[in-house]
Amino acid sequence: MRFLLPLIACSSIVLAHEDESARIFDRFFDHADGWNFHGHVDYESRYSSEGRDALDGDGLVSGTFEAGLNALFAGVWYAKSPDQSYDELQLSTALNWDWKDLEGYVSYTHLRFPQDGGHDHEIGAGVSWSGLPGEVALGVDAYYSFDADGAFIVTSLSREFELNDRLQITPAIVFGMNQGYVTDGHDGANHFELRLGGAYTLTDAITLNAHLGYNIALDRDAARYSGDQLLRDFFHVGVGLTYEF
């Protein structure tokens, strides 16, 4: 199970084991000079991870602290389910770059699962190109798990709309492919997701974030692959607050 695209930030920027479609909105693309700090508190109705309803219908509450210095990023993300015994900790660092219409990052994440004492190490990379017609952005993210010895690849199309000086919305289409990352799931085309996110600026420091997503499973074969049992069609929603120090 897992996590890693700008705007709605209804999930944190910390990398692995989280809703991978969040990368569409939470890439590490913050190239402000000097230090910048963010904190997030979020609630997800379901833990959407690699196209899977990872907690079988149960929700997830998470908190994040992130710090950036120019092109460098570091963050701590901790999540716990209010419905079952599950929690997860991520420690991440990333390096950003940008050139003309391209932005990208490379990252490392250490994951801990306190309930069962498990852990993992992951490396990731992503790139976003904003040169498509209609201000549509094309994004590709990939992350590799050393524990699973496999990768997951996410491709997305998104478009940000500023409705006024406080409200932004971002519709997106996400396509995921499994290449050994979900070790007991099928390889290849994994899922589509239709996603709508929004961000409303409450004050100069506080932003209210929300999203609605619909996951569509592809090539599900639960009879053959136990890892496909939670790969399913489902709605999920999320809401959270971001504080900029």
- pLDDT tens for 141-192 read 999 999 999 999 999 999 999 999 999 999 999 999 999 999 999 999 999 9
**Distance from chain centroid for Cα 59:** 16
What whole-number distance in Å separates Cα of residue 99 and Cα of residue 86? 40
pLDDT tens track for 51-62: 999 999 999 999
Residue 115 has a pLDDT of 83
Could you tell me the pTM of the whole model?
0.88
Q: Which of 226, 215, 184 is nearest to 46 (CA)?
A: 215
* Structural domain spans, the chain: 20-244
CATH fold group of domain 20-244? Porin (2.40.160)
Residue 4 has a pLDDT of 34
| The token pair that represents 107 in the structure block | 């990252």
What whole-number distance in Å separates Cα of residue 241 and Cα of residue 208? 5
Q: Which residues contact 73 (CB under 8 A, 6 or more apart)?
A: 13, 28, 30, 66, 67, 92, 93, 94, 95, 96, 105, 107
DSSP class of residue 149 equals T
| The token pair that represents 203 in the structure block | 């004050």
What whole-number distance in Å separates Cα of residue 36 and Cα of residue 66? 8
Residue 31 has a pLDDT of 53
